[in-house]
Amino acid sequence: MNRILITGAAGKIGSILREGLRGRYAVLRLSDIAPLDPARAGEEIVRANLADLAEVEGAMQGVDCVVHLGAIVGEETWDKVLPNNVVGTWNVFEAARRQGVRRVIYASSHHAVGFYRRARVIDQTVVPRPDSLYGVSKVFGEAVGRLFADKHGISVVCLRIGAVRDKPADRRLLHVWLSPRDAVQLVGCCIDAPDYHFIVVYGVSNNRRNRYRNAGIEFLGYRPQDDSEDYAADILRTPDSEDPISRQFHGGPYTQMGFDGDLARIE
């Protein structure tokens, strides 16, 4: 892998990867519609609107692997989610196919399975259970990744990313925290690993309270270094302000947004 494209490179995770992967590959090509700092040695800057297939295909030329982060992050209205997270993701995979890109690393989210109860440990075999429109868009992206792996032979990994923070800030994040250092390691492993067809990986650190199980991905070599438990004592000293619905599910606050269902029917 010589030329790596990062979409959404101006965002939080994109900025972390820009620094953490710098110098590891011949070229990091950075793309966003938001402003980016000028290119440094080994970097290229390409502006592309993900909703415009022609622009995305132009950014994809000569690329070996795409790390697709570009999206509206967090819950939003459908008119914003559709062009950015749905159409944009389709365009990334289709442009990759047209340009002969070998591998796509798709930033999915734990919100794709956010309506599983937090007491339950889940792995990659569970069916999607999105907690929001944002979660629905991530389920769509995983399905597109599966299609392009099976139909077009692109190597695809979907990362169900937890919460990337410098440190966890509340009780829920003790379960889903992904440190910046571990985020860089995880993406690097996905770029460098021997050939794989299609895999789903939970992107979390080595948290003692982790409720996700990554099965059968030992070949990636991902060995997270950080543990949210280092921050647990301080967090647990503060009052638990999480609302009664959120605290029951993996997706936390996303599950209670607009909720008018029946909790008793959600096993």
Q: Evaluate whether 97 touches 155 at the Cβ level (below 8 Å).
A: no
pLDDT, average across residues 17-39: 96
106-143 as b/e, with b when 16 or more CB fall inside 10 Å?
Answer: bbbbbbbbbbbebeeebebeeebbbbbbbbbbbbbbbe
DSSP state of 117: B
C-alpha 122 chain-centroid distance? 17
Strands (E), the chain: 3-7, 27-31, 43-46, 65-68, 103-109, 122-123, 155-161, 163-164, 177-178, 198-203, 212-213
Q: Full-prediction pTM beyond 0.85?
A: yes
Euclidean distance between CA atoms 104 and 185, whole angstroms: 16
| Confidence label for 198 from pLDDT (cuts 50, 70 and 90) | very high
pLDDT of residue 153: 98
Residue 134 designated active-site:
yes
pLDDT of residue 3: 97
Q: Name the CA radius of gyration of the chain, rounded.
A: 18
DSSP state of 84: I
| Confidence label for 258 from pLDDT (cuts 50, 70 and 90) | very high
Q: Evaluate whether 9 touches 15 at the Cβ level (below 8 Å).
A: yes
Ordered domains of the chain (ranges, CATH): 3-265 (3.40.50.720)
DSSP state of 156: E
pLDDT tens track for 77-116: 999 999 999 999 999 999 999 999 999 999 999 999 999 9
Catalytic residue among 25, 134, 212, 222: 134
pLDDT tens track for 123-181: 999 999 999 999 999 999 999 999 999 999 999 999 999 999 999 999 999 999 999 99
pLDDT of residue 22: 95
Largest Cα–Cα distance in the chain?
Answer: 56
**Which residues are CB-contacts of 136 (< 8 A; sequence separation ≥ 6)?**
81, 130
* Closest residue by Cα to residue 172 from 89, 110, 91: 110
Stated as kind and residue range, the H or E segment containing 148 is helix 133-152
Q: Evaluate whether 116 touches 253 at the Cβ level (below 8 Å).
A: no
